[in-house]
């Protein structure tokens, strides 16, 4: 391992509370792994023997500043004596293949420098939450617990198939020239042009009653939530507001960047050849809502569902599918306490993904190790520092008392809020695991 060590005093950055750490109370160790991944360790002088290994989310660059915590709670964590550890991975993009060994390597570097911690918790945000799941599933002996925040917890295939469903239904029924997401690029002028075409197509559809109904159908099969940023949560019987919110969240949910993943995998890894969209709509819980919109448009929902059943489907490349299954589809084989936290409306990493992991663990006989908790808010990774700290408190309570305390009342007490609520999303239409349930629709 090649290491470049830089010791420096830590100045005050963004504060969570009025408490300010003394300038000499924390030291920073920065280095470079032999993979080329940069890392950062922040060690409080009054170390409590515990280390938090943070995994960041998806990024098109590895040159950004290395984050060692999910948000602005860093100062509080250091004041409590936690050592904060993270790497920026050796490659950008959907870097599960590189991130897992890089995160293990940085913990080895930490132990070489400071000794073995009494406790190690792996946690991460968005894609980093999936990385944390992979670390705990594959290397349970190296960690005491884990936390996934706003995570793509259903894994790569379930997430990308869900996005494909909404985009495919929309483009098939609207019959526009917009490319399917498998053709979208991550950056550059071409990507911007394609996304602009999708935006125009969605706005055009929204301008007619039938277009609005078809948008609602496409959004429903992809579990797009009706609560969008800048708006209040629509009432369940407010058809107009519900459809508008789903329209506003639609592109964020279905136009996930794929070019980096397809380059890594060597082809398209998403498919829908065996999907019954009438069943998907029914399972989404929005069948009656979509029917009402079709009735308002004077059109036949059954006709559109039959058209979808007859339409040519997308077939995955087998080698690409296998690569993405390896990097990474969870098995649910959890052996340590693991908490997943999500907002009730996240247009990118859906609440259904969070609940899907819990169901995967239960199917694998490991449900006792896993809990989910939900914040009554809209947005991707939109948590307060106090809510993030409450997730850590819940895991520490499980470790110290051998019982889970993750009810909304417990979480709100620890966060000093009233934001945690009961939430049970519907089952994910495109659930895909390497555990007992397998991948719905996968063909060999």
- What pLDDT, on the 0 to 100 scale, is given for residue 146? 98
Average per-residue pLDDT for the chain = 90
Nearest to 77 by CA among 122, 44, 106: 44
Q: Contact, 212 vs 240, CB < 8 A?
A: no
Q: Which of 228, 325, 232 is nearest to 270 (CA)?
A: 325
Q: CA-CA distance, 389 to 35, in Å (whole number)?
A: 32
Query: For position 25, what pLDDT does the model report?
Result: 85
Cα–Cα separations (whole angstroms), residue 175 to 37, 76, 140: 45, 53, 48
Torsion angle in degrees (nearest 10) through CA of 281, 282, 286, 292: 90
CA dihedral 432, 87, 65, 326 (to 10 degrees): -20
Query: Is the pLDDT score of 186 beyond 90?
Result: no
What the block records as the tokens of 293 is: 């919109």
> Which pLDDT score is estimated for 257?
81
If one compares 178 and 369, the residue with the highest pLDDT of the two is 369
Report how far residue 126's alpha carbon sits from residue 150's, in angstroms, rounded to the nearest whole number: 5
At residue 189, the pLDDT reads 60
Q: Please, what sign has the CA dihedral across residues 114, 339, 246, 235?
A: negative
Interval 14-30 mean pLDDT: 61
pLDDT-wise least confident of 12-26, 120-134, 387-401: 12-26
DSSP classification of residue 258: -
Task: Give the model's pLDDT for residue 438.
Answer: 58
DSSP H/E element including 408: helix 408-415
SS3 303: helix
pLDDT at 22: 64
Helix, strand or coil, per DSSP, at residue 38? strand
Closest CA to 110 of 139, 80, 86: 86
Which domains does the chain possess?
Answer: 6-154+327-421 (3.40.50.1820), 156-324 (no CATH)
* Residue 24 pLDDT level (bands cut at 50, 70, 90): confident
* Start-to-end C-alpha separation, the chain: 41
Residue of 369, 378, 339, 98 whose CA lies nearest to 225: 378
Separation CA 68–CA 21 (nearest Å): 17
Asked if the model's pLDDT at residue 430 lies above 80, the reply is: yes
Identify whether the C-beta of residue 8 lies closer than 8 Å to the C-beta of residue 28: yes
What average pLDDT does this structure show over 256-263? 86
Do 157 and 270 touch, CB atoms closer than 8 A? yes
User: pLDDT tens across 136-178, in order?
Assistant: 999 999 999 999 999 999 999 999 999 999 999 999 999 777 7
User: Do residues 358 and 367 make contact, with C-beta atoms less than 8 angstroms apart?
Assistant: yes
User: 60 or 8: which carries more pLDDT confidence?
Assistant: 60
Q: What pLDDT, in 10s, does the model give residues 268-305?
A: 999 998 899 999 999 999 999 999 999 999 999 999 99
């Amino acid at each position: 391992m090649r290491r470049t060590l830089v010791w420096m005093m830590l100045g005050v950055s963004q504060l969570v509370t009025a408490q300010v750490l003394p300038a000499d109370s924390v030291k920073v160790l920065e280095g470079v792994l032999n993979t080329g991944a940069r890392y950062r360790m922040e060690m409080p002088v009054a170390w409590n023997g515990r280390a938090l290994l943070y995994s960041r989310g998806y990024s098109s660059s590895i040159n950004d500043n290395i984050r060692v915590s999910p948000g602005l709670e860093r100062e509080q964590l250091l004041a409590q004596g936690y050592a904060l550890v993270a790497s920026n991975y050796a490659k950008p993009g959907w870097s599960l293949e590189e991130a897992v060994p890089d995160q293990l390597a940085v913990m080895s570097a930490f132990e070489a420098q400071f000794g073995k911690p009494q406790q190690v918790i792996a946690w991460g945000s968005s894609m980093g939450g999936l990385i944390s799941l992979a670390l705990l599933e594959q290397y349970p002996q190296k960690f005491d617990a884990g936390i996934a925040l706003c995570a793509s917890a259903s894994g790569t295939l379930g997430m990308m198939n869900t996005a494909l469903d909404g985009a495919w239904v929309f483009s098939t029924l609207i019959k526009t020239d917009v490319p399917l997401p498998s053709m979208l690029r991550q950056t550059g002028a071409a990507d911007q042009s394609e996304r602009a075409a999708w935006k125009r197509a969605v706005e055009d559809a929204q301008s007619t009653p039938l277009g609005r109904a078809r948008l609602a159908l496409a959004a429903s099969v992809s579990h797009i939530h009706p609560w969008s940023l800048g708006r209040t949560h629509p009432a369940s019987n407010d058809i107009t507001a519900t459809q508008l919110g789903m329209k506003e969240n639609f592109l964020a949910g279905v136009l996930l960047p794929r070019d980096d993943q397809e380059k890594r995998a060597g082809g398209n890894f998403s498919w829908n050849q065996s999907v019954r969209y009438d069943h998907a709509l029914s399972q989404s819980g929005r069948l009656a809502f979509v029917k009402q919109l079709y009735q308002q448009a004077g059109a036949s929902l059954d006709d559109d569902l039959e058209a979808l059943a007859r339409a040519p489907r997308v077939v995955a490349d087998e080698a690409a599918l296998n690569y993405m299954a390896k990097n990474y589809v969870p098995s649910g084989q959890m052996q340590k306490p693991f908490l997943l936290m999500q907002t009730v409306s996240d247009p990118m990493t859906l609440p259904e993904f969070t609940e899907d992991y819990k169901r995967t663990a239960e199917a694998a006989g490991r449900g006792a190790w896993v809990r989910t908790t939900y914040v009554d808010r809209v947005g991707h990774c939109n948590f307060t520092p106090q809510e993030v700290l409450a997730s850590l408190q819940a895991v520490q309570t499980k470790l110290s008392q051998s019982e889970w305390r993750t009810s909304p009342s417990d979480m709100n007490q620890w966060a000093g809020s009233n934001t945690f609520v009961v939430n049970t999303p519907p089952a994910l239409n495109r659930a895909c695991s390497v555990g007992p349930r397998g991948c719905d629709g996968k063909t060999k």
